[in-house]
Amino acid sequence: GAGVSQTPSNKVTEKGKYVELRCDPISGHTALYWYRQSLGQGPEFLIYFQGTGAADDSGLPNDRFFAVRPEGSVSTLKIQRTERGDSAMYLCASSPLGGTYNEQFFGPGTRLTVL
């Protein structure tokens, strides 16, 4: 596709449920990032993939959060036993290797609401 896509665009779930958020990066981009953005705040880093491996997962808030990228393209962010505090916009970004800037291209985000 032309850009990064994320599905679903909106997800409403109940406290304690399990959710999966999907990210389709720009074709050929090897780097993939997940961010979480609360209302009125800038995005906060969650996890970074270089290819299939999670090169840096230091931003994941706790062990309820997990992300995979099994074939080095599509990534899934998984949240177990959701809590109301998990409600936020979840953004995915991808970046090509090389270049001066390593510019990150963001998807439209998934708005997660935990009731």
Task: Identify residues 48-77 at the interface with other proteins (CB under 8 A).
Answer: 48, 50, 55-56
* CB burial of residue 82 (10 Å; 0-12, 13-18, 19+): buried
Judged by CB under 8 A, does residue 29 bind other proteins?
Answer: no
Region of 11-19, 41-49, 69-77, 79-87 interacting with other proteins (CB under 8 A): 41-49
Residues 6+ apart with CB under 8 A from 73: 24, 25, 27
Interface with other proteins includes 99 (CB under 8 A)?
yes
The pair phi, psi for residue 102, each rounded to 5°, is 50, 45
**With respect to other proteins, which residue has the nearer C-beta, 45 or 66?**
45
Q: What is the DSSP-derived secondary structure letter of residue 8? A: -
Looking at the DSSP bridge assignments, the partners of residue 52 are: none
Q: 55: which 2 tokens?
A: 């090169």
The nearer residue to other proteins, 27 or 100, going by C-beta atoms, is: 100
Binding site for other proteins (CB under 8 A): 4, 6, 33, 40-45, 48, 50, 55-56, 89, 91, 93, 95, 97-109, 111
